[in-house]
Structure 1
Amino acid sequence: MKTKTVKGNWKWNWKTNRLGLPFVFLICIFFFLAGFFASSLFSHYQEREDDLRLMPRARTRLTEKSTEEETGYHLLQAGESGDDSITSIPFQVLSWYPRALYFPNFASAQQCESIVKKAKVGLKPSSLALRKGETEENTKGIRTSYGVFMSASEDETETLYAVEEKIARATKIPRSHGEAFNILRYEVGQKYNSHYDAFDYAEYGPQKSRRVASFLLYLTDVPEGGETMFPFENGFNMDGNYNFEDCIGLKVKPRKGDGLLFYSLLPNGTIDQTSLHGSCPVIKGEKWVATKWIRDQIQDD
Structure 2
Amino acid sequence: MKGGGVIRAAGGGAGGAGLLRTRLRLPVVLLSCSLFFLAGFFGSLLFTQDPEEADMPVPRERLLDAAWPEMPYGESGEAAPSLIPYQILSWQPRALYFPQFATSEQCENIVKTAKERLKPSTLALRKGETAESTKGIRTSSGTFLSANEDPTETLAEIEKKIARATMLPRNHGEPFNVLRYNIGQRYASHYDAFDPAQYGPQKNQRVASFLLYLTDVEEGGETMFPYENSENMDIGYDYEKCIGLKVKPRKGDGLLFYSLMVNGTIDRTSLHGSCPVIKGEKWVATKWIRDNIV
Could you state the TM-score of these two structures normalised by the residue count of structure 2?
0.78
Q: Amino acid of the residue matched to residue 111 of structure 2?
A: V
* CA displacement, residues 223-261 of structure 1 (integer Å, 9 cap, x when unaligned): 000000000000100005100000000000000000000
Paired position in structure 2 for 1:271 = 266
- Listed as ranges, the gaps of 5+ residues in structure 2 are 1-58
Q: Amino acid of the residue matched to residue 208 of structure 2?
A: A
Q: Do residues 195 (structure 1) and 190 (structure 2) align?
A: yes
8 Å contact 1:65–1:87 — kept in the other structure? no
Paired position in structure 1 for 2:96 = 101
8 Å contact 1:179–1:292 — kept in the other structure? yes
Paired position in structure 1 for 2:105 = 110
Mapping of 1:13-162 within 5 angstroms?
66=61, 70-162=65-157
What's the offset of the Cα at 1:288? 0.1
Paired position in structure 1 for 2:241 = 246
CA distance in 2, matches of 1:193, 1:216: 16
Kindly tell me: are residues 258 and 220 of structure 1, through their superposed partners in 2, closer, same or farther at Cα, counting changes over 3 Å?
A: same
* CA displacement, residues 204-224 of structure 1 (integer Å, 9 cap, x when unaligned): 001111000000000000000
CA distance in 2, matches of 1:224, 1:128: 25
CA distance in 1, matches of 2:97, 2:232: 23
Q: Do residues 177 (structure 1) and 172 (structure 2) align?
A: yes
Kindly tell me: are residues 161 and 235 of structure 1, through their superposed partners in 2, closer, same or farther at Cα, counting changes over 3 Å?
A: same
What's the offset of the Cα at 1:76? 2.0
What's the offset of the Cα at 1:68? 9.3
Paired position in structure 2 for 1:9 = none
Paired position in structure 1 for 2:275 = 280
Paired position in structure 1 for 2:16 = none
Which structure has the bigger radius of gyration?
2
For the aligned residue pairs, the C-alpha RMSD in angstroms reads 1.4
* CA displacement, residues 49-72 of structure 1 (integer Å, 9 cap, x when unaligned): xxxxxxxxxxxxxxx994898334
Q: Amino acid of the residue matched to residue 113 of structure 1?
A: E
Q: Amino acid of the residue matched to residue 118 of structure 2?
A: L
Determine helix, strand or coil for the equivalent of 2:171.
Answer: helix
**Taking every aligned residue pair, what percent have the same amino acid on both sides?**
70
Determine helix, strand or coil for the equivalent of 1:290.
Answer: strand
What's the offset of the Cα at 1:87? 1.0
CA distance in 2, matches of 1:73, 1:289: 34
Kindly tell me: are residues 240 and 228 of structure 1, through their superposed partners in 2, closer, same or farther at Cα, counting changes over 3 Å?
A: same
CA distance in 2, matches of 1:274, 1:122: 33
What's the offset of the Cα at 1:84? 1.4
What's the offset of the Cα at 1:73? 1.9
CA distance in 1, matches of 2:64, 2:95: 33
* CA displacement, residues 29-68 of structure 1 (integer Å, 9 cap, x when unaligned): xxxxxxxxxxxxxxxxxxxxxxxxxxxxxxxxxxx99489
CA distance in 2, matches of 1:252, 1:101: 10
What's the offset of the Cα at 1:75? 2.8
CA distance in 1, matches of 2:96, 2:64: 29
- Listed as ranges, the gaps of 5+ residues in structure 1 are 1-63
User: Once superposed, which parts of structure 1, at least 4 consecutive aligned residues long, lie more than 3 Å away?
Assistant: 64-69
1:166 to 144, 161, 164: 161
CA distance in 2, matches of 1:69, 1:250: 33
| Alignment coverage as a number of residue pairs | 236
Paired position in structure 1 for 2:251 = 256
